[in-house]
Amino acid sequence: MADFQTSTHRAKWIFSPQQLVEKYRAANQRAKQILEKCGATLMEVDVNGSLSYPEPHMTAKDSAEKHYRTKPLSIEEEQCIKVFYENKLQEVYNNFRFPHKIQATALIYFKRFYLQWSVMEHQPKHIMLTCVYAACKIEENHVSAEELGKGISQDHQMILNNEMIVYQSLEFDLIVYAPYRSVEGFINDVEVCLVGPDAAVKLCLGDLLVMGSNPETASLHMQGNSVMLVMTSLKCSRLCKRQQDLKLIK
């Protein structure tokens, strides 16, 4: 889609850092309440797409035992798990050699999904793979669920079971913007200018993809282009420094 200005991406999915914190807190709080009430939080999706929820405690003894055993995750711990799976998502891409556009789309889906839910409610590994599958569909890079499951030794049915909840959590706003083609060209130019075509120093597009030091929030409160510009300038400044160091050594 050419027009970012009128897109759902811009209208609905860019937040201030404060708004993001509130959303994460709300999801985390809800999961904690379910944990207190039921002793567990994870929802499961069965073969026909139905959700099943944790049962509330029958007795005070059950509650006490379960409460003793399960300690809820903090917001920071949740972020840590999300970043872990965002990096795992890159591994899936490397295995399948998908184009960057699909990688970017899946990553944005994953981030958006966990604006609504806590990782304690929906298994991030399953959601991550479902986001990959959804991104392949929307970007018309047809990969069957079976193929995807086989490629990473996972049950493909789990991908299909979660598909509906992912689309609904994303509110069907599935067209997303990520300026990878232009950035890739820009990076190539920078590499040639700074260190020559044969140099060992390579800018890693994967690093750009996970959005550097603040991977969780960057793509949600900055426009894609801004994220890329910030990250690329960081990379360039490092390259320039490296170039100066090389000159000094010589």
Q: Is the dihedral of CA 67, 70, 73, 74 positive or negative?
A: positive
8 binds other proteins (CB under 8 A): yes
Choose between 73 and 92: whose C-beta lies nearer to other proteins: 73
Choose between 8 and 243: whose C-beta lies nearer to other proteins: 8
53 binds other proteins (CB under 8 A): yes
Using CB under 8 A, which of 142, 213, 247, 249 touches other proteins?
142
Stretch 31-50 residues interacting with other proteins (CB under 8 A): 31, 35, 38-44, 48-50
Looking at this protein, which amino acid is placed at residue 95?
A: N
Could you give the string, one character per residue 65-104, with x where binding to other proteins holds by CB under 8 A and - elsewhere? -x--xxx-x---x--xx--x--------------------
Size of the site for other proteins (CB under 8 A): 56
2 binds other proteins (CB under 8 A): yes
Cα separation, 138 vs 223, in Å, equals 20
What secondary structure letter does DSSP report for 74? Answer: P
Here the tokens at position 130 are 């479902």
Contact 27, 116 (CB under 8 A): yes
The runs of H, that is alpha helices, within 73-213 are: 75-96, 100-116, 124-138, 145-151, 156-169, 180-195, 205-209
Place of tokens 């994220």: 227
Interface contacts to other proteins, rule CB under 8 A: 1-3, 6-8, 31, 35, 38-44, 48-55, 66, 69-71, 73, 77, 80-81, 84, 119-120, 123-124, 133-134, 137-138, 140, 142, 144-146, 159-160, 163-165, 167-168, 172-175
